[in-house]
Amino acid sequence: MAKPLSLEKILFSQGFGTRRYCSDLVYADLVKINGVVCEDPEERIATDGLILNVEGKDWEFHEKAYIAFHKPPNYECSHKTTHHPSVYSLLPRPFVERGLQCVGRLDYDTTGLLLISDDGQFIHQMTTPKKNIGKVYKITTPEPITQKQMEHLLKGVVLDDDPRPCSAVACEQLGENKLAMTIVEGRYHQVKRMLAAVGNHVEQLHRVEIGRYVMPADLQEGEWRWLYPDDLSKLAKSVEN
């Protein structure tokens, strides 16, 4: 059982603003615990299973945040974007305040599964190439995919800026112009460059799996959801030691 914390500390830890602002939220009667307004920012509250209500919205307490997000096209995975709005603009404000970061980036035009967290160790584990975590992409191409191209992707291709070959760990043809490909590295524009290296092209790119975690079918574009212990243990099992 976690140690009870003051309400002000709890709100601050969840990203509701500065300590001062969090106290003011409580003094303004804008915070409820179990449906009851709490008037004292110093009141100590048990955090296990805690659901706060802040300014009329329920908020689950999570010491560290781990979320799955379905990225829509035309958003950048960066806080300081250049040409398109940021994926962070689609998330609740407290996530941005508490410093959530994407676990590896997707290109602005790629859609699908993004993990986002404020746990630095988790982000490192999930992104370091040493851990060999498979990422599955569904790819649509303008030219039909040939057997030769699939064999070439599996055997390995050399990308122009790097003599080390990079290969797909699995390729499955889903249609004449559709392919599911698993890679374990995360080089810059890797899938697009691999397809170009075998003489085809990526028209649409959509990520569906990271390790053993599959994007839930009912998670719509632009939606996010918390990852719970079952999801996190699937991800932990994907990490090679």
Catalytically active residues, by annotation: 107
Residue 196, classed as helix, strand or coil, is helix
Tell me: does residue 119 bind ligand URA (CB under 6 A). Answer: no
Tell me: does residue 25 bind ligand URA (CB under 6 A). Answer: no
State in angstroms the smallest separation of the CB of 107 from ligand URA.
4
Helices (H), the chain: 7-14, 19-27, 93-97, 120-127, 147-155, 190-197, 229-237
Tell me: does residue 179 bind ligand URA (CB under 6 A). Answer: no
Tell me: does residue 205 bind ligand URA (CB under 6 A). Answer: yes
Q: Which stretch binds ligand URA (CB under 6 A): 53-61, 118-126, 149-157, 186-194?
A: 186-194
Q: Which stretch binds ligand URA (CB under 6 A): 43-51, 106-114, 123-131, 151-159?
A: 106-114
List % helix, strand, coil for the chain (3-state, nearest 5): 25, 30, 45
Among 115, 126, 191, 235, binds ligand URA (CB under 6 A): 191
Tell me: does residue 52 bind ligand URA (CB under 6 A). Answer: no
- Gap between the Cα atoms of 136 and 106, Å rounded: 13
Residues whose CB falls within 8 Å of the CB of residue 142, separated by 6 or more in sequence, listed in order: 177, 200, 201, 203
State in angstroms the smallest separation of the CB of 106 from ligand URA.
4
State in angstroms the smallest separation of the CB of 163 from ligand URA.
19
- Gap between the Cα atoms of 118 and 76, Å rounded: 18
Tell me: does residue 133 bind ligand URA (CB under 6 A). Answer: no
| Token reading at 133 | 């975590």
State in angstroms the smallest separation of the CB of 20 from ligand URA.
40
Q: Among residues 103 and 205, whose Cβ is nearest to ligand URA?
A: 205
Strand partners for 173 = 179
Q: Which stretch binds ligand URA (CB under 6 A): 32-40, 54-62, 162-170, 190-198?
A: 190-198
Q: Among residues 15 and 112, whose Cβ is nearest to ligand URA?
A: 112
For ligand URA (CB under 6 A), the number of binding residues is 8
Q: Would you say 100 and 117 are in contact if contact means Cβ atoms under 8 Å apart?
A: yes
Tell me: does residue 169 bind ligand URA (CB under 6 A). Answer: no
Residue whose structure tokens are 């569906």: 208
Burial code of 186-204, b = ≥16 C-beta within 10 A, e = fewer?
beeebbbbbbebbebebeb
Using CB under 6 A, list all residues that contact ligand URA.
106-107, 110, 189-192, 205
